Chain A
């Protein structure tokens, strides 16, 4: 449910950037890691619901979803992580230190002027 306030923040940044640089937003590129605790479909819904009246009114939303990665101390290696409490696939140690997959970033905007 916090997807709504996250999307408000995204549109606030996009609006300010479009105003400062000039142009309207054509594409919003968002990065949402698979371990970010955010529902991508809820983000898409929030984007469509909130974009009217902003500089991103006609924009498309592209979402990149980097996979989870965890550091295993015992193996001294980065391992794939589907859920944050998953054990190391090699040695079984858990939990691993999450080093990837928690991204929640506005990566880029395509501006047209």
Chain B
């Protein structure tokens, strides 16, 4: 068919040839392929990867340090730190005595599976360990990018709005675990825990919830028991969590 005017005749000599190419290509497919490779590499070595996501200021890094201190001597652990700028978080983890590598995303608002895969190769966490990946503080963008983790762990602190699960439903739907952090501050706040959890379960009825405080250690035993249980339940080659 002539593509110049759409008539049934042959295209005129020298006229531009125009055609529609159907592609149906997902814009996340490339990231998902890197994530699948990460997942396979970690499962083969019995490494449990947890992707920690939250708003900035939820206390993720402090909670991570407190978690690592509880896991010391029980389970090998390593950390990948994602931030737009600075080595500060990786330095905090290393100061606590654990291997850590910083990924600076520059202007990027999330970690992607390609960068995480290469960073994990360099960090080389031992077989049977837990690999914490602390994502860039952002409740929106990291929800869309699978890193190959066994589970996303969303951290929400009680100094934030209790309706965040409804405001950022994609993240709470993508997560398997909710850590409600800074619960030691509850007596000073109007934060309604039950209302918050009801909204979280509205978005994701399968969320596992731990109420924790990095400052006082409250709830950390149950949380670290869960982590250790997941590593034990995922022997080398067993694949990702359901």
Which residues on A are within 8 Å of B, measured CB to CB? 1-2, 4-6, 9-10, 13, 17, 21, 23, 26-27, 37-38, 83-85, 94-95, 104-113
Contact = CB atoms under 8 A, between A and B. Distances in A.
8 contacts: A2-B110, A2-B145, A13-B23, A85-B203, A107-B22, A108-B21, A110-B21, A112-B16
Interface string B138-171: 1011011100000000000000000000100110
Nearest to A95: B203
A2 B140 CA distance: 9
Nearest to A3: B141
B122 interface: no
B21 A95 contact: no
A84 B203 contact: yes
Interface in B1-52: 16-28, 30-31
A40 to B, nearest CB: 13
Contact of B18 (A6, A84, A110): A110
B241 to A, nearest CB: 19
Contacts of A105: 23-27
B56 interface: no
Interface residues of B, number: 34
B228 interface: no
Contacts of B20: 27, 108-111
Q: Is the interface of A mostly helix, strand, loop or mixed?
A: mixed
B57 interface: no
Contacts of B112: 5
A6 B109 CA distance: 12
A95 B27 CA distance: 26
Given A85-B166, A110-B20, A112-B16, A2 B203 contact: no
Contact of A26 (B18, B23, B31): B18
Contacts of B19: 110-111
A111 B21 contact: yes
Contacts of B18: 26, 110-112
